[in-house]
Amino acid sequence: MSTSTAPLVRPATAADMAAVTQIYAYEVLHGLATFEEIPPDEAEMTGRFDALRAGGFPYLVAEIDGVVMGYAYAGPYRVRPAYRHSIESSVYVDAAARGRGVGRALLAALVAACEDKEWAQMVAVIGNSENHGSIQLHAGRGFHLTGTLQAVGFKLGQWVDTVIMQRALRNTLNK
């Protein structure tokens, strides 16, 4: 794999779910970005993909040299109707591609895909307050820190914080 090729971001397809499943499984087993502890299989990941797409949410992948090296999607922030104008972002990058602009390209494309829709706010729920890469990634796309929930998860033998960041997608807030 070339180290100079820029990531190509495109809408995900069902054919991408094997790669998405592998990227996510690694994070489930070895990382703190998600609080899931048992990696879902490809059928489950495909079901999640289908549900998001059926709901009108964007789901993207980033390729380098034709290989899926990351993915990002938006989904409901919460299911109650009053939250319908807020969405949550998720970005996952293959461990072998970190530091190569994959996350940056995915998050930029995800924000752009959401800005012309009915959503007003995007929330990032970042596992692990020590995840400086993800926090900096989101800050670079206009997210601001709204708070840290301390020691709300226990994974890989340690208590883990959750960092909440947020950005406006449209200037429609009535404060």
Residue spans of the domains in the chain: they are 8-168
18 falls in which pLDDT band (50, 70, 90)? very high
Residue 68: CB partners within 8 Å, gap ≥ 6?
A: 16, 19, 20, 23, 61, 62, 94
Kind and range of the H or E run holding 27: helix 17-30
- Tell me the pLDDT tens digit for each residue of 67-109: 999 999 999 999 999 999 999 999 999 999 998 999 999 999 9
Q: What is residue 116's predicted lDDT score, i.e. its pLDDT? A: 83
- Tell me the pLDDT tens digit for each residue of 34-59: 999 999 999 999 999 999 999 999 99
What's the rounded mean pLDDT across residues 3-13? 88
pLDDT above 70 covers a percentage of the chain that reads: 95
Q: What is residue 52's predicted lDDT score, i.e. its pLDDT? A: 98
pTM above 0.75, yes or no: yes
Is a pLDDT exceeding 50 seen at residue 2?
A: no
CATH, range 8-168: 3.40.630.30
Please state, rounded to an integer, the average pLDDT across all residues of the chain: 94
- Tell me the pLDDT tens digit for each residue of 138-159: 999 999 999 999 999 999 999 9
Measured between alpha carbons, how far is residue 12 from residues 48, 79, 124, 127, 145 in Å?
A: 12, 23, 20, 24, 29
172 falls in which pLDDT band (50, 70, 90)? low
Is a pLDDT exceeding 70 seen at residue 171?
A: no
CB 45 within 8 A of CB 18: no
